[in-house]
A and B are shown apart, each in its own frame.
Chain A
Amino acid sequence: MRVGLPAMAAWVCVSSVTTAGELDVVVVDLHGAPATDAVVSVHGRGAPPAREAVTRAIDQHDETFIPYVEVFRPGDRVVFHNSDRTRHHVYSFAPAKSFEFVIAPGGETPPVVLDRTGEIAVGCNIHDRMITHLYVSDAPWIAKSDARGRAVFDALPAGRYTVSVWHPQLRPGKAEPEQAIDVGGEAASLRFSLPLLADPRPDPDDRERTRY
């Protein structure tokens, strides 16, 4: 994922910065395989301008939430679609937001405002092995790693940054891995090797297991 920052906005917000740099973060597991769906947060001096709240959709297809992880800002909204021919009953009991909706095939929920930061695990009360994670953060820069495990931040104002990574398969209760880096005129890069737990989602090709 690539996160852009207009040069003018950066100049306005971080007036002391005269150069901008790119930060390339690669997230892998302990075997070196790309870690998709890692949330990379970048903290440093200044911040990009706040954007308008947006509504992001989470689909349910083949009894799987898509995407597995989605990033939100406080005030953003989430809508759940149901592309299956079966009903789903999405719910969460996370401290950051609790809700529950029955969604008919082809239907969708009303927008749910996510007003508090935190990780919100969402499940289906009918199909117990379905899970998705809503990550609500006010970090100045934030992005989700792509299929190659990469998250790229364009045009960061020059300076020292702290970069942290969250992934739903990190052992719960542990502090997020964190590294510091100087970003200047040349492209900077960071690599995180994460001790990921097994993927809790069922194998979509496994029709042999019981579902309820």
Chain B
Amino acid sequence: MALAACAALAPLARAADVDVRGWLDCRLVGRADERSYADGGLGKTRFGGGGVDATCAQAGVAFDAVLAPALAAHAQLQYQATGRDEASLLDAWLRYRPVSTTPLRWSVRLGAFFPPVSLENDALGWSSPWTLSSSAINAWVGEELRGIGAEGTFEWRGERSTFAGVFALVRSNDPAGELLAARGWSISDLVSGLGSRVREPDAYARDEDEAVPLRFNPFLENDGRLGWYAGASWETRGVGTISLLRYDNEADPASRSRGTSPVLSWHTDFWSLGAQSRVGDVVLLGQAMSGSTAIAPSPFFATHTDFRAAYLLAARDRGAWRPAVRIDAFSTDQLPRSIDGRVREHGSALTVALNWRPRAWLRVTGEALHVRSWRNQRELEGLPAQRDDTQLQLGLRVIF
């Protein structure tokens, strides 16, 4: 039987085109003063607590295989060394995309994938090719969002413009949104993998009479409901691309996971609007997100948090030297206003990066990130709500 199976698969195996690429990111870090969210603090940056140190922050490997001309497989594994050492699967999917000799083309993806929110993160490990730290929007997408299910895409490809539509049914993302409510936004490249347990702020854990450190898995299915997203994009040659996405995890806000430490379901929905254009070698990106997340764990308590964020990025996309600058703005607002000590935040960030790519396998990036934020949750720790913090990084990415 095994021999027969091998014989049947042999032609497929011979024909397969397999590409394996790995990456290693090492950093010299000038940490921000406030304790990082990755260590249970309320700091907005990946590295906090002050001081300077060197770390190999992450590594990973990406597998791509052409199983048949229309069938591709993709998976990425990562190792993260911030907050807690952890190896995890970032994404894994199969894509069927038959060739079309008409302007119409369709495809289907099955597996676990990032919802197509980000315009930034098209590099290995869902990182940004322009900066070390992702925008507030995409830092959150990388931490808490993953679609596990099926996604269909169709494209109409004209001479001047291409129009694309996407629709997906996904599951296992019911706690998504909790970080925005319990901790707020971050400016970071700490991406979660399937099975990752992200950390709540210690201030939140103590407020909820929970032991510190408090972690949860954002990729759980609690209620058996399917979530969905739908989007459209329009690209005009020489002008740019505009894309709109609606996401709703359809989580039952009264549901929770089973077990001794149940994880609540957060009903999270948002709109995301993005635009991309290019002037010569300079790429211009802009994204905005507006949504809400809500829980109703008992008939006597329900809470709802509105969240908004946006960024503008300009970066050179050719040549060995690639500078980039990005401005972020973000806010959250917990409702109803009658909640005692309701949590709110607002802030902005400036990221300036210079990338040097002397070889195809090497990227050296210097980045300065300054975050100004007001979050009243800091007062629970006896800290002022207003913070100004700066994180400096010199990053070395080796691709092999």
Interface residues of A (CB under 8 A from B): 85-87, 89, 91-93, 98-100, 102, 104, 125-126, 171-173, 197-198, 203, 205-212
A171→B69 contact, CB < 8 A: no
Set B103, B278, B399: member contacting A207, Cβ < 8 A = B399
Query: Could you list 23 A-B pairs, sorted by A, with CB under 8 Å?
Result: A89-B99, A93-B101, A93-B157, A98-B101, A104-B15, A125-B69, A125-B70, A125-B98, A126-B17, A126-B72, A172-B160, A197-B237, A197-B238, A198-B278, A198-B280, A205-B360, A206-B360, A207-B360, A208-B123, A209-B124, A210-B74, A211-B19, A212-B95
A208→B17 contact, CB < 8 A: no
B17→A210 contact, CB < 8 A: no
B397 neighbours in A (Cβ, 8 Å) = 208
A92→B99 contact, CB < 8 A: no
B99→A208 contact, CB < 8 A: no
B281→A85 contact, CB < 8 A: no
Set B23, B72, B360, B361: member contacting A212, Cβ < 8 A = B72
Q: Cα distance A162–B66 when bound, in Å?
A: 48
A211→B64 contact, CB < 8 A: yes
Set A85, A205, A207, A210: member contacting B122, Cβ < 8 A = A210
A87 neighbours in B (Cβ, 8 Å) = 15, 17, 66, 69
A209 neighbours in B (Cβ, 8 Å) = 122-124, 129
B66→A86 contact, CB < 8 A: yes
Q: Cα distance A92–B101 when bound, in Å?
A: 6
Cβ of A95 to closest chain B Cβ, rounded Å? 10
Q: Cα distance A9–B107 when bound, in Å?
A: 54
| Per-residue interface assignment for chain B, residues 59 to 76, with 1 indicating a CB less than 8 Å from any chain A CB and 0 otherwise | 000101010011010100
A207 neighbours in B (Cβ, 8 Å) = 21, 360-361, 399
- A91-B99 in contact given A126-B69, A173-B159, A211-B19 (Cβ < 8 Å): yes
B99→A99 contact, CB < 8 A: no
Q: Cα distance A166–B46 when bound, in Å?
A: 50
Cβ of B338 within 8 Å of any chain A Cβ, yes or no, is no
Set B99, B278, B318: member contacting A100, Cβ < 8 A = B99
- Residue of B21, B66, B160 with most chain A CB atoms under a 10 A cut-off: B66
The 8 closest A-B pairs by CB, nearest first: A98-B101, A86-B17, A125-B99, A205-B360, A197-B238, A208-B123, A89-B69, A102-B69
Q: Cα distance A82–B99 when bound, in Å?
A: 18
Q: Cα distance A85–B19 when bound, in Å?
A: 10
| Per-residue interface assignment for chain B, residues 136 to 166, with 1 indicating a CB less than 8 Å from any chain A CB and 0 otherwise | 0000000000000000000001011000000
Q: Cα distance A126–B70 when bound, in Å?
A: 7
Closest chain B residue to A125, Cβ basis: B99
Cβ of B246 within 8 Å of any chain A Cβ, yes or no, is no
B238 neighbours in A (Cβ, 8 Å) = 171-172, 197
A172→B363 contact, CB < 8 A: no
Cβ of B357 within 8 Å of any chain A Cβ, yes or no, is yes
Task: Apart from A206-B360, A210-B123, A210-B124, list 18 A-B contacts with CB within 8 A.
Answer: A93-B100, A98-B101, A172-B160, A172-B238, A173-B160, A197-B237, A205-B359, A205-B360, A207-B361, A207-B399, A208-B123, A208-B129, A208-B363, A209-B124, A210-B74, A210-B122, A212-B72, A212-B74
Cβ of A155 to closest chain B Cβ, rounded Å? 36
- A208-B69 in contact given A93-B157, A198-B280 (Cβ < 8 Å): no
A173 neighbours in B (Cβ, 8 Å) = 159-160
Q: Cα distance A205–B319 when bound, in Å?
A: 9
Cβ of B97 within 8 Å of any chain A Cβ, yes or no, is yes
Q: Cα distance A104–B17 when bound, in Å?
A: 10
| Per-residue interface assignment for chain B, residues 66 to 98, with 1 indicating a CB less than 8 Å from any chain A CB and 0 otherwise | 100110101000000000000000000001011
Closest chain B residue to A99, Cβ basis: B101
Closest chain B residue to A127, Cβ basis: B66
B129→A172 contact, CB < 8 A: no
Q: Cα distance A212–B197 when bound, in Å?
A: 29
A205→B159 contact, CB < 8 A: no
- Residue of A125, A197, A206, A207 with most chain B CB atoms under a 10 A cut-off: A207
